[in-house]
Amino acid sequence: MEANPVPVYHRDVAAQQQLRDLPAVDQVLAGLAHLEKRYPRKLIVDEVRRVLDSMREQILAGGHANSASVEARVERNLARLEAPSLQRVINATGVVLHTNLGRAPLPRFDPLFGYSNLEYDLARGARGKRDVHASELLERLAGAPGIAVNNNAAAIYLALNELAAGFEVVVSRGELIEIGDGFRIPEIMQRSGAILREVGTTNRTRIEDYRDAITDRTRLLLRVHPSNFRIQGFTARPELRELVALGKERGVPVYEDLGSGCVVDLRAFGVEEPLVSDSIRVGASLVSFSGDKLLGGPQAGILALDKLIYQALETTLRNLLLERWDQIPALRMISMSGAELRARSERFAQALDGIRIRIIEGTSLIGGGATPEQPLPGWSIAVDCADVVEAEQRLRLGEPPVVARIEDGRLLIDLRTVFPGEEDELARVIRGAVGRG
């Protein structure tokens, strides 16, 4: 119960007085005349009205608004509009494909200035197709021609809509997954116009289940790689080659969604992930996958890709084809050995003189919904601080922001996902954030 409550009448009187004290728009504009050389007048007027409306709502809700702060709030809001919201972040979490940090870190490339031959065939002097910039590289890597679309959910939707709209697609119940940010296989199928035909059970589906489900209404056998989860124990799942053989026998194409998009063999680094080229070689009629996970490239544009996306994708595919692993940040980070990471951590620790730290053995993650049960062995820097949560927040609000991780009550810095050129900045932000705590 509120102590010494203010009578409603007096509250209303106080609120009315505050509303009367709010300045008029013209009065505020007069005090912001110096901003008209920096911002369009219409933008200033709109922001003044927004601030005044917000203060009125605050007063009517029972709060207090200081009329003297109107000009300062307007100027602060306008300055915020000038500052880019998207900014570079130092990823010290050890999660290579960090979904919230843009997944695969892109290799450095110089965006083409001005115009480009995006859809122009220079040899013929006529209109061309934008797919050509990446299609040959994709075909060499995957073993089949390919086109790029917005994301893997879009690829699945387009394939189902084109090949099976109005007809049945057979899928195992154990593969009806959510592939990221609310994109669920059954919902994508429904929106594409395809009719879902579930077979088997959550944990066990046999080739006979697919065989029994095929009718004259069947247009596809769909196999989905469950990238970000595993069912263990009493399980069964047909091999892709079994599905392909059944598809050939019954005249039904097999479509496999591989999700994470692995086009190079990562087993040497302790990562077991199906290769796109293997699925094509076994006989899958169509394979889809992401460009910004294990492929290490950008997210594509829908149908008609933006020229910068094509340039970034072409750069990544060329580096993959020529096996220039060091030019693809995600693969370079995945392939970093535990010994290399420990030595690097020990060198970096010298830049944190005066801060109590320990170099501890642990693991990093590939992330991005890929290989959830295959952590990468490595070493992290555990930073001793009075308040771990406060220190993590200080790092996150630093300049540049540093995203670390808290594990078992410790603040951990994992250099696997930190670019070498970021180490000086990282040390400076850590000293500023933790040196005070």
CATH number (domain holding residue 241): 3.40.640.10
Mark whether 286 and 188 lie in a shared domain: yes
For residue 306, tell me if it sits in a domain.
yes
Single-letter code of the amino acid located at 332: R
For every residue of 227-246, DSSP letters joined together read TT----SS-B---HHHHHHH
**For residue 374, what is the domain's CATH number?**
3.90.1150.180
Q: What is the DSSP letter of 98?
A: B
Two tokens, residue 144? 């089949």
CA 424 vs. chain centroid, Å, equals 26
Mark whether 199 and 300 lie in a shared domain: yes
Mark whether 339 and 243 lie in a shared domain: no
Mark whether 206 and 61 lie in a shared domain: no
SS3 198: strand
Q: Over 60: is that where the pLDDT of 131 sits?
A: yes
Q: Which of 282, 298, 324 is the last residue of a domain?
A: 324
Mark whether 285 and 241 lie in a shared domain: yes
State the residue range of the domain holding 59: 8-80
Q: Which of 272, 297, 324 is the last residue of a domain?
A: 324
> Which of the four pLDDT bands, split at 50, 70 and 90, describes residue 304?
very low
For residue 344, give the H/E element and its range: helix 338-349
Contact between 307 and 120 (Cβ < 8 Å): no
For residue 33, tell me if it sits in a domain.
yes
Distance CA(166)–CA(42), nearest Å, equals 51
For residue 85, tell me if it sits in a domain.
no
For residue range 212-241, list pLDDT tens digits in order: 999 999 999 999 887 666 777 787 888 999
Distance CA(433)–CA(398), nearest Å, equals 8
Mark whether 430 and 363 lie in a shared domain: yes
For residue 86, tell me if it sits in a domain.
no
Single-letter code of the amino acid located at 280: I
CB atoms near residue 423 (< 10 Å): 16
For residue 72, tell me if it sits in a domain.
yes
Whether the upstream peptide bond of residue 400 has omega within 30° of 0, thus cis, is: yes
Mark whether 290 and 229 lie in a shared domain: yes
Task: Name, in order, each residue with C-beta under 8 angstroms of 430's C-beta and a sequence gap of 6 or more.
Answer: 352, 355, 383, 395, 402, 413
**Domains identified in the chain, total number:** 3
Predicted pLDDT at 341: 94
Distance CA(370)–CA(154), nearest Å, equals 19
For residue range 274-298, list pLDDT tens digits in order: 788 888 888 888 888 876 776 676 6
Mark whether 214 and 346 lie in a shared domain: no
Q: Which of 80, 95, 129 is the last residue of a domain?
A: 80
Mark whether 138 and 25 lie in a shared domain: no
Q: Over 70: is that where the pLDDT of 305 sits?
A: no
Could you tell me which of 367, 376, 372, 374 has the C-alpha nearest to residue 229? Answer: 372
Could you tell me which of 112, 89, 92, 109 has the C-alpha nearest to residue 101? Answer: 89
For residue 271, tell me if it sits in a domain.
yes
SS3 343: helix
Distance CA(402)–CA(413), nearest Å, equals 9
Mark whether 243 and 197 lie in a shared domain: yes
> Which of the four pLDDT bands, split at 50, 70 and 90, describes residue 369?
low
For residue 314, tell me if it sits in a domain.
yes
Q: Over 60: is that where the pLDDT of 25 sits?
A: yes
Q: How buried is 179 (Cβ within 10 angstroms: 0-12 exposed, 13-18 middle, 19+ buried)?
A: buried
Task: Name, in order, each residue with C-beta under 8 angstroms of 72's C-beta and a sequence gap of 6 or more.
Answer: none
Mark whether 16 and 68 lie in a shared domain: yes
- Among 14-23, 338-347, 382-391, the least confident range: 14-23
For residue 313, tell me if it sits in a domain.
yes
- Is the overall model pTM greater than 0.75, yes or no? no
Half-sphere exposure of 101 (CA within 13 A, CB side): 23
Mark whether 210 and 277 lie in a shared domain: yes
> Which of the four pLDDT bands, split at 50, 70 and 90, describes residue 1?
very low
Predicted pLDDT at 342: 95
